[in-house]
Structure 1
Amino acid sequence: MVSVRSRARLLAWAALLAGLAAVVVLVATTGRGGLLILLLGLCGLAGTAAGVWLVVAHRGAARWTGAVLALAALALVLVAYTVKGLWGEALAAVVLWGLAAVCARSALRTVRPPAGMRAVRHLPAKHPVLIMNPRSGGGKVGRFGLVEKAERLGARVLLLDTSAGGHTDVTELARGAVAGGADLLGVAGGDGTQALVAAVAAEHGLPFLVLPAGTRNHFAMDLGLDRADPSLTLDALTDGEELLVDLGTVSGRPFVNTVSFGVYAQIVQSPEYRDAKTSTALDALPDLLLGYSGAQLDARADDTRLTAPQALLVSNNPYAGAQPLGGGARRPRLDLGTLGVVSVRVANAAQAAQVAVLGSRAAGLTVTTARQVTVDAQAPTIPVGVDGEALNLPTPVTCAVRPGALRVVVPRRRPGVPAAPGGPLDWRRLLALALGSALPPSD
């Protein structure tokens, strides 16, 4: 049987050989073909980035021009490769380099797998109370029979009043449940509702159950829960385990995912945002990026000053990638006791292309972590998006994190959270692994 260390060494050698083969393909290409492959690829990437910038930062003819430019850049690269007879070599180089990257990451993760959140045994609650929003996620509570299934498992269910003119204070409802003897609080609703109930659970040291019955369920996703069928999370009531999870606060208000300022916060303020997020964002971005109409922000992440960011995203633990608007990325851990910070300031197509090519190393993008983030402006209040909800908060706005504040109960069997991308590959550590020597520390 192959040991873990031996398997990692084999993967490391496979990565090094595949990377070397990619270089050989480019060098061995007739004449200056190898250099031409690289230059064409970079030009195509720059053209695509410039086109995407025109799409998001302009309207009308400029936006259509950007879409055409992005597609044309890709098409011209493919045509040029074909005309010059470099298609086969270019494809081989890309495939080999992709194989090298996959093997390299697998090798380093095999020998030093990323640590996940520590789970401890959870004894079933005797008086669980679950708060449910019948309208959340387009009616998932009714569609998946959450009320009936929860009550069969011994839980008491409290439904939010969603009738015309009806209003339920979620926080008071949760506190009333605690006063009535609840020894577990759960919620089926959006991330904003989850944060309010989570704060009450943390205040009283009670276990907290998340039912992914919202629209996007980012918090549930990062907890490794099954978002396709929220009823499966109810298994945690009888066969669960606890995770100690951090809870974020913004000016005293709890949040479980993100707090956004600047461009994204103003987009969230739009009345149309909840029903048409993508189209609303695309329609608002030009005005906001080109001559941002809001108050100029001045932010500080611990000791790092972020001057006049156009968009600022603060997350309860860092995402596994620099996502200026927080879309598509995941947080591999929610127990690091730190905030993720992504600050964006892009003024033209060249800077947009730099962000596309260099990512977090681009001048227009700052990616860091902090225990506290303070955002100020020359205005009494500023728009803030808290877990997707539009608010206006008095300045300065302070974001902080409460490490291990939440005892989150999850089913023992759940899809899980994928390992985080490892960032730039450390070929020095990979070579050491292939040669069988001790791994040098990560930079």
Structure 2
Amino acid sequence: MPAWRLRDFHEDDLDQAVLVWDQSRPPGEQLPVFPVSEVMAAARSGQPAVVAVAGEELVALAVAQAHGERAWVLLIALSARWRRRGIGSALLAELERRLREQGVRRICALLPEGGTGTQALLNSGYGGREGLVYFEKVSHGGAAEAGLLAELGGREQPPGLWEALAGMEREKEVVERRIVLPLAEQELADRYGVAPPKAVILFGPPGTGKTSFAKAVASRLDWPFVELFPSRLAADGEAGLAASLRDVFADLAELDAVVLFIDEVEEIAAVRSGLAVDPGHGVTNELLKLIPGFREHGDRLLVCATNSVRSLDPAFLRPGRFDYVIPIGPPDPVARAAIWARYAGRAAAGVDLDRLVAASGLFTPADIEFAARKGAQAAFEREVLHRQGRPAGTEDYLSAIADTRPTLTPQAITEFEEDIARFTRL
């Protein structure tokens, strides 16, 4: 065999380095603590990285990362046929020299038990510490993914949104069983032959909480949330909108996980007329073609919401594209009481919730939030003027209800009930 020598890691070493890393792990060895993408990013950013070459062949590499006075050895990889030649120890010695020049005093390494590089560490005077357990919590999205998420207008949802959905217990139970649990317990679902959903439709009157449900699902799953606004995609007509849809879905494919939410989806998936000049024909076709590709990826969920499910194209609604079509209706009396209690806050203890529930029969959660805020504002203004120390009460909220136009009408309720019978798929 030719002699080997050490040199710096070069940018064009990347492909060979990944190959050596892959070949250096014996079958069945646990995955390394530091993934290869993180290691190569450190090497390319100027962290200490050394390779061993024999002729033009890269046969080993070692990469470290310094953090003040402590450094971590991220990777030691040796081609199988070049082991037991002192290369690993030489790589470590060179890393140590460079790290000492940076002021590092403590050098650490985390390897799978018996993993590649263990013997080199022992030969170089490193001591193992028994009785330690490695803990890890993985969050979706690194810096690059965060940048892409920001470009898409997406964000991580705060925890607790699911619990904050006051009332709406019927809807929460359905969404929990059909959507959340199969995605949160994917290994268990697979064992029982349950395919986690990839796309669902939420339908119901305006203001019933469809957007809140989508965000709460993202919060429960700890997945990023991206909302796509059809009206903002493009100003170039049908062709521009279709192209923008393709671009957005291509970007989404780069994310590890995502909940994609499209509100008022009827804007881009309405019933097609069948005429060649139909202005929405191409956009609807494009979305229909994009959904199967979206479904092929791992941790992702498409949630489409509509106030008018009957206006959606039948091809858009069919099984195979959407796993479930779920109604999100107006709150029943029990749910309205819970919503009033939430928005009335500390004043709720002195309020007759039964009267508020009875007076707000056609109110959506959004209507109740508005009326509660309006009642609280009236009490606040009264206190500013009279300083009586009297909090918002039942009469304040009843007055606010009387001054609030409900979103729902008896006709809207009737149509929603008809839609439930016709379109629901659970």
User: TM-score scaled by structure 1?
Assistant: 0.19
**Larger helix fraction of residues:** 2
Which has the higher relative contact order, 1 or 2, with Cα contacts under 8 A spaced 6 or more apart?
1
**Larger strand fraction of residues:** 1
User: TM-score scaled by structure 2?
Assistant: 0.20
